[in-house]
């Protein structure tokens, strides 16, 4: 067994303890409540489920938080599970400041707790119990209503944002190698292979982007590339390249606009700003450098064939779609 890169007493080696805790990947939530007509919200990754019957969840708040008094006394709270394109919301609610909900599209749940739009899921809760948790207070809530949307969640690990992707080794758990089945199983379905290959590559590139401080999610980077390919297209025209519904695509667009990377004119036409062009160049350079490593064991002739086939497929799909023929 290899020796750990660091270890020690957490009471003495606090920073090492924090780094070790950061190895545990979590989702990111915005916890919200309302008190005296004022809305409160903060970013938290301490959320977890406790029980299905009754439906209980918990999270914890730092006692030094400026919102501590409001949450410690709240009768209700809402848990908003952020989606992959909501880094800006995570950062907004992680900072102290005045009403953070002022310009946001949000509804009101049980007890008037704010519900954010565009999230992956949300839970409206009655606060049932609070427990001492050292420098934190633990709040246990009973879920009275839940909402789940078709969004991928935003993740947090090793001090940075991440997105989920199917692990390439998942094929080992798919019921025995499909290549051994008479019909070849899903391995013969080209689209399945392409999706699995894309997930594996995208996951590694995403991790590298966050490590090197490029500061964009996979979907934000995809939108920049789509906008650069053909400037002045509207969101409707870009949606086929984003693989998102209109609501999710609009939220994604708003996130890059808020970062100053994209501008939208009065006709809804989208164009990269100078800052957006610079960020995209850095992303492309990063992708090329990493592809050289990822594909180093694949012959150049095979890579050339893959590029040619994929380019042909892209140009074909941009033309009038043809009906599928089932054989």
Structural domains in the chain, sorted by start: 25-155 (2.30.110.10), 165-315 (1.10.10.10)
Q: How many CB atoms lie within 10 A of CB 224?
A: 21
Q: Which pLDDT belongs to residue 39?
A: 92
CA angle (279 as vertex; 155, 245 as ends), nearest 5: 50
Which strands sit side by side in the sheet containing 48-51, from one edge to the other?
38-44, 29-35, 76-81, 121-133, 136-148, 56-62, 48-51
pLDDT at 309: 86
Q: Which two tokens stand for residue 102?
A: 């002022």
Over its length of 327 residues, how does the chain's per-residue pLDDT go in tens digits? 567 778 888 888 888 888 888 888 899 999 999 998 899 999 999 999 999 999 999 999 999 999 999 999 999 999 999 999 899 899 889 888 777 888 888 899 999 999 999 999 999 999 999 999 999 999 999 999 999 998 889 998 877 788 877 665 655 545 544 444 444 454 556 766 776 676 667 666 666 665 666 667 777 888 898 899 888 999 888 887 776 666 677 878 888 898 899 999 999 999 999 999 998 898 888 878 877 887 888 888 888 898 888 888 877 654 444 443 433
Note the pLDDT of residue 16. Answer: 82
Predicted pLDDT of residue 327 = 36
DSSP letters, 19-50, are HHHTTS-EE-EEEEEEETTEEEEEEES--EEE
Q: Where do the DSSP E strands lie in the chain?
A: 26-27, 29-35, 38-44, 48-51, 56-62, 76-81, 106-108, 114-116, 121-133, 136-148, 154-157, 160-163, 262-264, 270-272
Rounded to an integer, what distance in angstroms lies between the CA atom of residue 29 and that of residue 246? 23
Q: Determine the Cα–Cα distance for residues 214 and 158; give it in Å rounded to an integer.
A: 16
pLDDT at 55: 95
Sheet holding 26-27, edge to edge: 26-27, 154-157, 160-163
Read off the DSSP letter of residue 233.
Answer: B
> Alpha-carbon distance 252 to 246, whole Å?
10
């Amino acid at each position: 067994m290899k020796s750990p890169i660091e270890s020690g007493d957490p009471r003495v080696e606090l920073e090492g303890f924090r780094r070790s805790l950061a190895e545990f990947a979590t989702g990111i939530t915005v916890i919200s409540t309302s008190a005296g007509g004022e809305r409160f919200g903060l970013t938290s990754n301490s959320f977890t489920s406790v029980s299905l019957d009754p439906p209980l969840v918990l999270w914890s708040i730092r006692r030094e938080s400026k919102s501590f008094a409001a949450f410690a006394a709240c009768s209700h709270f809402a848990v908003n599970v952020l989606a992959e394109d909501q880094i800006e919301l995570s950062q907004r609610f992680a900072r102290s400041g005045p009403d953070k909900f002022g310009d946001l599209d949000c509804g009101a749940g049980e007890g008037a707790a704010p519900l954010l739009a565009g999230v992956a899921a949300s839970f409206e809760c009655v606060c049932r119990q609070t427990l001492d948790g050292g420098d934190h207070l633990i709040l246990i809530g009973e879920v009275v209503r839940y909402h789940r949307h078709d969004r991928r969640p935003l993740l947090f690990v090793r001090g940075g944002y991440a997105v989920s992707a199917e692990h390439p080794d998942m094929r080992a758990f798919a019921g025995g190698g499909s290549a051994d089945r008479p019909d070849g199983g899903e391995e013969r379905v080209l689209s399945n292979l392409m999706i699995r290959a894309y997930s594996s590559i995208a996951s590694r590139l995403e991790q590298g982007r966050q490590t090197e401080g490029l500061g964009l999610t996979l979907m934000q980077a995809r939108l920049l590339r789509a906008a650069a390919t053909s400037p002045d297209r509207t969101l409707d025209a870009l949606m086929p390249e984003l693989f998102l519904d209109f609501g999710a695509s609009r939220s994604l667009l708003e996130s890059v606009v808020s970062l100053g990377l994209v501008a939208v004119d009065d006709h809804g036409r989208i164009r990269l700003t100078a800052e957006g062009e610079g960020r995209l160049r850095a992303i492309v350079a990063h992708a090329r450098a990493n592809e050289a490593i990822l594909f180093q064991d694949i012959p150049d002739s095979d890579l050339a064939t893959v590029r040619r086939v994929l380019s042909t497929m892209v140009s074909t799909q941009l033309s009038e779609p043809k009906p599928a023929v089932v054989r």
